[in-house]
Amino acid sequence: MLILLPPSEGKADAGSGKPLDLAGLSLPALHPARERALDALVTLCSAETTAAANVLGLSPGLIGEVARNAALRTAKALPAGRLYTGVLYDNLGLADLPAPAKTRARRSLLIFSGLWGALRVDDRVPPYRCAMGVRLPGVGLLSTHWRDAMAQALPEAAGTGLVLDLRSSMYTPAWTPRGDVAARTATVRVLHERNGARTVVSHFNKATKGRIVRDLLLDGSAPRTPAELATALRDLKHTVEEQPPAKPGRPWQLDVVVTEL
């Protein structure tokens, strides 16, 4: 099973090891696109600070991120699994998973990124600031920049297994599952049920998604279809309703219903 996650705006303050080895990151098919994005970002942030902040959409309180980006090639790196913080990653709790679950996380989790494309949890990168919705000079909109490379790398990463797509809407344009991969892809919508009415959860959907991934990693189950995934989640005490696609070759949708936020 391949589990696709969004990154988070919250990140560790600094790396703690050797600098970035761009060629050593997983998914080598993404390497040329990573080089172009990194060169464009470092060049942008090595020039005029205010202009770079405007391109990156940074508030005055984040202006220091420009200098951090300019030094990315020499900054200390850390594993992506320790880089990202925030609600989803707090509830996922990678650091305190037992060893077998950590092994499953290294094998199955893939974190999307505006700058790096996608990362395994043990890929080492420095803290950075560059969202998927940014338009980098000479590169353009990053979600568009990544499409061709992702179209090669992601089907290879998925293999013949299930894909659980938990990305936020900003990151889905970078790769759209198609054909056979789409037919074994499941997306998740979190619904809050209260007094018989249901509403789509926004912020707190991250917490639920983090708990879902943690439960799957701890359980060690290996569903191969969206229907089997729905059954596995019910066995893990989640309330799940599956929605098969209206047309062949499209992902399934799983509605996870929560009564408490």
pLDDT tens-place string over residues 7-41 = 998 899 888 889 999 999 999 999 999 999 999 99
In this prediction, residue 193 has a pLDDT band, given cuts at 50, 70 and 90, of: confident
The lowest-confidence range among 42-51, 167-176, 203-212 is: 203-212
In this prediction, residue 261 has a pLDDT band, given cuts at 50, 70 and 90, of: low
In degrees and rounded to multiples of 5, residue 30 shows phi and psi of -85, -5
Percent of the chain with pLDDT over 70: 99
pLDDT at 248 over 90: no
Contact status, residue 79 vs residue 123, Cβ threshold 8 Å: yes
In this prediction, residue 203 has a pLDDT band, given cuts at 50, 70 and 90, of: low
Residue the block writes with tokens 């809407």: 169
If you write DSSP's letter for every residue of 85-137 in order, what string do you get? -SHHHHHH-GGGS-HHHHHHHHHHEEEEETTTEEE-TT-EE------TT-EET
If you write DSSP's letter for every residue of 36-88 in order, what string do you get? HHHHHHHHHHTS-HHHHHHHHT--GGGTHHHHHHHTTTTSB-EEHHHHB-SHH
